[in-house]
Structure 1
Amino acid sequence: MGSSNQWVAEWEVSEELAHKLISSQFSQLASKSVQKLGHGWDNTVFLVGTEYVFRFPRREIAINSLRMEGKILPKLKTYFSIAYSIPLFFGEGDYGYPAPFLGYPYLSGEFPIGLTDKQRARSATTLAQFLKNLHAFPVKIAQEHGVQHDHRNLTDLAMRKEKMHKFISDISHNLSEEEYYALSNYLEQLRTEKVKQKHVFLHGDLHFKNMLVDENGRVSGIIDWGDINIGHPACDLNVVYSFLPPDARSDFFKEYGDVDEETKILARLIAIYIPILIMMQAIDDNDERLVDEAKANIKRALAY
């Protein structure tokens, strides 16, 4: 895969540059160490001391999203009992770096990688309460703060299905025959082409790299809110299929509330679509651990 991939950085931020930007704008942090934690599609993440995490956009498309986080995330405080990223430091570009950046309290926990089904099931109610409250946030307030409606056209299943056919063809050499057949068979049997649009406030990018779990494997925090938008709840409900094992899904919906069949179909599709994208980037990064976890997410989502 070449540089046309949408996760390739337009700006690389080194630890040295991150330290220079942070210390020049926030003198109280000047003596703290700066350590790169990793990167996603849109941001590079650094641990500052042991108390803070800073996110720096890697691509121009991420700038407006980061500014949006700064405005809207503080408004959510009363909605959740679960920890989430609330920005404390608002930085601006300097030293040749063109983008704003944000700093947040460090949230303890690990990514939910390699958990057992039993561990995952413990979070069914926690996730349901979190998403029920998130989706109840007033859309009017979100709109007043500039939150946009779904820019990815998620309800068009036919378009997403077409993309997925290409993706699995591109990564076929990283799939076993059984894995390739399972994905192809799922897409072949998917008859729904479009679902009715709905409008709720969304995290917008909920998956295992944006979730944290405690030492017992229970979900303890939600991070990376760069894709906040107003759209179909299935976008976030994908975790019912990618994260939770099949026998825990009824517990989730018992707490969240039941949803129609179209929503479940779209949620399952996204639960497969997102891990495929994560796997594609992980293949580029030679990160076998993430490749394996993405495959496990897909396998769970395909299981009824």
Structure 2
Amino acid sequence: MPDTSERTWELLRLAADRGLTLRPETAVLDDTGWDFQVLRAATGAGREWILRVPRRAEVATAARAEQRLLALLRGRFAVAIPDWSIADSELIAYPRLAGEPAASEDITSYELVWRIDRVDPPAAYVDRLGAFMAELHATPVDAAAATGIPVRDADGVRGRFAVQIDRGGQEFGMHPSWRDRASRWLQRDDLWADRTVLIHGDLHPGHTLVDPAGALTGVLDWTDAEVGDPGQEFVEAARKFPPVVLDRLVAAYGRHDGPAWPGLRGHVTEAIAFAPLALGILGLEAGKQRYVDRAREYFGTPTV
């Protein structure tokens, strides 16, 4: 349904001030994002555009690094990535990429509405996603770091998780069994990569675009890109699917020469188990109480 709220008109005016005229009757506002408000609308000629408006000043600052990263990566992949035509502190705008999200969050129930088979996703989705991840992780780290995105080395990755566990214990009433499990994971050198790579950082199905057959066609929202843990890339890419899909994704990653290591599968299994921790901390920082409540409930009971 088209959206004609006051906020929609404000976003359309921002675009018009920069020479981009969009038809109000085509506008659809997405207010679910943590960092950006997003508006989808079309020109008079029918070309659809995506408008992103930063919610906070620090988001606008980080977006400049995201813009430089997208420029570095353009043309490197078999799938599409956004090509920003307008980018300043108030507005980002780019032509909408082909395809639809593999899954979208219902704004009322917060449940995912799937466009692909969640239990048995198409091979053209899983294989292309593994290939994309392998290609992305092969990006020269120095070039990625020069864009200004966050950079962590292997020790920094483990140290960050240790800090999160400490905070989780304070904020979420973490059961001792979860602390014990985290300690065992941190001590297992074989489960941690010995190097870091460029990662997208948030490859959940809503940020992956598919065609009507379910084949991967594009990857959206590079806000969380960093030089970091290659295993972390698999978490949002796989945790909404049954465990067998993770096996398929790891296999595809290996087929396409992704920098796997013997402990990758075990590392990702632990990272998926602890995924509500990072989300709970983000909920604290962004005022998203439902993620805080979910983390308290999840970590307040013993781990299996």
Amino acid at match of 1:158: A
The Cα offsets for residues 109-150 of structure 1, whole Å up to 9 and x where unpaired, read as: 134234431126653211110000001112222233333313
Deviates more, 1:192-201 or 1:278-287: 278-287
CA distance in 2, matches of 1:251, 1:62: 34
1:159 partnered with 2:149? no
SS of equivalent to 1:87: coil
Kept in 1: contact 2:101–2:206 (CA 8 A): no
Alignment of 1:23-102 (within 5 A): 23-26=16-19, 28-31=20-23, 33-49=26-42, 51-90=48-87, 92=88, 99-102=89-92
Amino acid at match of 1:128: G
1:22 partnered with 2:1? no
Match 2:101 to one of 99, 107, 110: 110
Alignment of 1:112-131 (within 5 A): 112=103, 113=112, 114=114, 115-119=117-121, 123-131=125-133
Alignment of 1:133-152 (within 5 A): 133-150=135-152
Kept in 2: contact 1:43–1:56 (CA 8 A): yes
CA distance in 2, matches of 1:245, 1:285: 27
SS of equivalent to 1:227: coil
CA distance in 2, matches of 1:167, 1:214: 42
Kept in 2: contact 1:110–1:214 (CA 8 A): no
Return 5+ residue gaps in structure 1 as ranges.
1-12, 93-98, 171-182, 296-301
CA distance in 1, matches of 2:177, 2:124: 31
CA 1:30–1:53: 2 relative to 1, 3 Å: closer
Match 2:248 to one of 248, 251, 260: 251
Residue 230 of structure 1 and its aligned partner are, at CA, apart by 1.2
CA 1:31–1:248: 2 relative to 1, 3 Å: closer
CA 1:270–1:48: 2 relative to 1, 3 Å: farther
Residue 276 of structure 1 and its aligned partner are, at CA, apart by 6.0
Report how many aligned residue pairs link the two structures.
Answer: 259
CA distance in 1, matches of 2:236, 2:252: 15
CA distance in 1, matches of 2:273, 2:123: 19
Q: With structure 2 as the length reference, what TM-score do the two structures score?
A: 0.69
CA 1:209–1:167: 2 relative to 1, 3 Å: farther
CA 1:31–1:81: 2 relative to 1, 3 Å: same
**Percent sequence identity over aligned pairs:** 21
Return 5+ residue gaps in structure 2 as ranges.
1-5, 104-111
Correspondence for 1:212: 209
1:267 partnered with 2:268? yes
The Cα offsets for residues 210-244 of structure 1, whole Å up to 9 and x where unpaired, read as: 23344444443211101221122122122454144
Amino acid at match of 1:56: V
SS of equivalent to 2:11: helix
Q: With structure 1 as the length reference, what TM-score do the two structures score?
A: 0.69
CA distance in 2, matches of 1:35, 1:133: 33
The Cα offsets for residues 57-96 of structure 1, whole Å up to 9 and x where unpaired, read as: 1122212221112222133233211222221222x3xxxx
